Structure 1
Amino acid sequence: MQAEYGGDLTQITDLDLLAFDFNPALRMRKFIGESKSGSGKSAPKALDRMIWQRGLRAFVGAEAAELTINSKVTEQNRKFGRELGVSVQTLSDLSRREEALLMAEVEESGSHGAAAFALVEWVRKYTKSEPELEVIFRFLRSKVWFLDSFTAVKQTISVIETLSKQWVVGHEDDHKKAVRWLLAEAVSVFSLMLVDICSEARLRPRFEFDAFVAARLADGVVPSSEMKQLSKSIDKFIAGLLVAAKATPAVRTGAMGAFDPVPPAYADSFAELAWRLSRWVRASDLPRQIDFLAHERIGLNRPVPTMAAQRIQLSNLNFQHSVSLVCAFLRGHAALSPDASETLLNLAVQPEETMSDAVPSDADVASPPPLALKRPGSGADEFRGQDYLDFNDPD
């Protein structure tokens, strides 16, 4: 709000939960949530918080909101919440949902869990002493979630490029620890916005999609369509000046289109990436999978927990192919460190026998290195099986 309406505003509230989902057409949907643990007489009442959430939902452009409270919820509360687009639940309701989803098996993995939240708080405090990293932290934790997907992609690519310059191979300290988390979050954000853009590839023919991507990536403060119209008027004005100045035809011709909006150099490659990913039927799973993998392998710098790897289906060949495509693009156009890219591509998984909380013995210290899922070969340049869309098939 400070960025949008001025620096004299103080913080009004924060978002306890900010979540995104994709429908079958890959359209991204935003959800917010609030948790209140108080249970005394002064504890917030369900009706008050639902009305508050309704206003906050409209302000941030969320499709729905969720309220979790530590007090009784009546059927009238739930009915009123449905009318407001706010679902309400008790802590007991939440526990039942977690049990049904077997959340205990994966509660400390990826970007979620007590350890992950503690790391975010540590990075927040650490970046206060490094202005460049603090700007990036604020961007990834707030600003980027309120940008359109194309603007978010362009700015996130710049963030990844900046962080990659600070990635020192083979050296680990507090600075590298912060860079690791920021880079993992940036890769996650990029994949989320990328898949949202993939939805357009399922609605348009290829040539039209390429033109659409180029135009949107060329947008600045002024949309490219409006800038093109303005550019024509400027061309006429400048042409008149050059004729009056008796400039040569070559000079007059060279001055034409000087103000036309120009997409970034990676526009064609990005359109190709989005088009290819859109062919995967389960592309909607990709942001969640990459978020999990990036935070485990880059952010937390550890092998992936076995159960979580199975639950999120990291062994799916089309997922592995998708990750390789994303990494290739980021290496080529966001200067993603080859070391960081290799860390992401090496889908190392913890052996099941190391998952216990027992204190390691001397024999454990000499145990073999973590197992690794098979990576797709260099020739695996297409999606496989029945879970991809062939847009060249008339059926």
Structure 2
Amino acid sequence: MSGNTWTAPTAPGPLDASVRVPGSKSITNRAFVLAALSAAPTLVRRPLDSRDARLMQGALTALGGGVERRGDDVLVSPLAPEGTEPASVVLGNAGTVARFTPALAGLGSRPVLFDGDEAIRRRPIAPLLRALRDLGLDVEDEGRGAPPFTVRGHGGIAGGKVELDSSASSQFLSALLLAAPAFESGVTVRLVGDAPPSEPHIAMTLDLLRRFGAAPERSGVEFHVPATALSCPEYEVEPDLSTAAPFVAAAAVAGGTVRVEGWPQHTTQPGDWLRSLLTELGQRVELDETGLTVTGTGEVRAARLDLHEVGELTPVVAAMLCFGDGPSVISGVAHLRGHETDRLAALATELSALGAGVTETADGLAITPAPLHGGVFHTYEDHRLVMAAAVLGLRVPGVEVEDPETVGKTFPEFTATWQALLG
């Protein structure tokens, strides 16, 4: 690593490696929220320790909760949202913190300011703020529909029925469902507009609610979570399968075998879809009780892929398809324009700059493989773009990855683990 760039290493030959990735960001931050709403402390085992996870811990502390690090685990104590003095929640560029914590501020009576990095001010949140207003919270955003905004509660949230447009992010829906057990009468959310992206993340939210003792119900586009006293003395977080994406992609691109330790045999994580994807792209995939083993050929089949439900995998999948045996198309991911950056524009720009033929479509990318060359790969403060660049570097010497530290959002040790993967 030099200056503010990292030279992505090339693979010396077929791989033979085993890796363990950190805990799931999506599960970690959902578990932290539910633990803070529980009646007694919860020991969250093996959670992700990254910028996003620490921002969530900081948010819960600011809102009156308690967070205590215990080795690899975190003890979360219930919220006690007392007092009237103003508070502030630092969002960074963490979508889960920006979406999941404003409702919690409504459980108290003091004004809470939410703000973060410049990038978070560009990420959609207006439909969620509208729903919170409909549920009785005072939300002041000067018409921006984005941070910075201030939430003031009235000592609790009555709950009840609310309509929500969650088409830009499934996190809007998850935010209301996660907080609902603490509402006086729970919540019934009726979705309007287009279907939310990433159905697996909605399933994950419902699964965690059940693990903590809630009884969520779903009927088509209507969701109901009754008021409940939550309890879960211990909860263990699964490895992050989306963060595992570049490692299993490495087996396909460089050839050889990569084993991801601890891959769950049953999970709601969208990243589990990688198993069927890699099989479709011509790789051998084996799952047993100890983990997932991917054996690659170094050859990648072209494909037409609808990634609507697994959009966060798009950067790594796009990088992998640049080595395909023909043109490929990724569709169903228009919502990625509102992620950490406009991921579609960023991928089209950066992959094309290194020689690939990548163009944006209305809802995805068209990828035509071509000879690639080295150069600077800009990452736009987006952790998944660092991972995509690393995959390119396996076969393309001289890929200079800008601002590699941004991967600290989900995996602070990524570059060191990647180097170890290549021996």
Point out which structure has higher relative CO (alpha carbons under 8 A, 6+ apart): 2
> TM-score surpassing 0.5?
no
Which TM-score applies when normalising by structure 1?
0.27
Q: Pick the structure with more strand per residue.
A: 2
Which TM-score applies when normalising by structure 2?
0.25
